[in-house]
Structure 1
Amino acid sequence: MIKIALAAATLTAAALSIAAPAFANDVTVNYKDLDLSTAKGQSTLARRLDNAAKNACGLGGSTTGSRLGSPSAKACYKDAKTRSQATLATIIGEAQNGG
C-alpha cells in the first residue's frame, strides 16, 4: 500500500509515505496484489499512482464559473506526477531486486 500526498518519499517494506503538496489529500494506493516483475504489474501500478495524484490534487474538476481546471490543481498534479515517477522507479527497483 502507498500513502500518497506526493512530495518526499520514505520507503518501507509494506508502504510508501509521501508528503503532500499544499492542498493535496492523502490517498492510499495498494500494490501488494501486483506482480511488479511483469510489465502488466508495473503498468497497473503506474496507472494507480497517476489516478491517485489526480485525486489527491483535485484534478479533473473545474473552477467556479469556468470550464478550465484550477491552475493550482494542475501545478499540484504536475509535481505529484514527477514525484510519483521516482516513487514508481524505486518500488519497481526494489521488487526486481527481491525486496
Structure 2
Amino acid sequence: MKRPLVVLAAVAAFGATAAPAYADTLSIPYRDLDLSTAEGQKALDRRIDVAVREFCALDQQLTGTRIATRESRKCYAETRRQADKQFAAIMDEQRVGG
C-alpha cells in the first residue's frame, strides 16, 4: 500500500500542479480559494476528496466488481485523515492571522 505524503499546496491555480518530488506525494492546491468563507472551505473539501479518491484508485473498477479493494479503502481513509489534519492546521493558522 502507498504511504502517502499529503501536501496542501498554496499554488496560484488548481490546474497548475508541479510533478511531485515523490511518487507517493499528493499535492492539493488551494491558493485560489477564499478559505475564510464556507464556500471556499467546501470547495477545498471537494478538491481533497477528488484528489484522494484518484490517488488511492478508490473509484477504479476492477473486472467483475464495483467494490473498491480493501487496500484502496484503507489508503483513502488514511490519506483523507492526513489531508483533513493539514487542512485544520491551515485553518487554525489563518484564524490566528498567520
Q: TM-score, normalised by structure 2?
A: 0.70
Question: How many aligned positions are there?
Answer: 85
Residue 55 of structure 1: aligned partner: 54
Matches within 5 A, 1:1-99: 5-6=4-5, 14=10, 25-99=24-98
Q: Deviations over 1:9-53 (max 9, x none)?
A: 7x89x47xxxx8xxx853321111111111111111111111111
Given the superposition, is the C-alpha separation of residues 25 and 62 from structure 1 closer, same or farther in structure 2, using an over 3 Å criterion?
farther
Gaps of 5+ in 1: none
Gaps of 5+ in 2: 12-21
Q: How many percent identity over aligned positions?
A: 36
Q: CA RMSD of the aligned region, Å?
A: 2.6
Q: TM-score, normalised by structure 1?
A: 0.69
Q: Which has the higher strand share?
A: 1
What's the CA shift for 1:59? 0.9
Find the residue that maps to 2:50 and give its secondary structure: helix
Q: What is the rounded CA distance, in whole Å, between the counterparts of 1:95 and 1:34 in structure 2?
A: 13
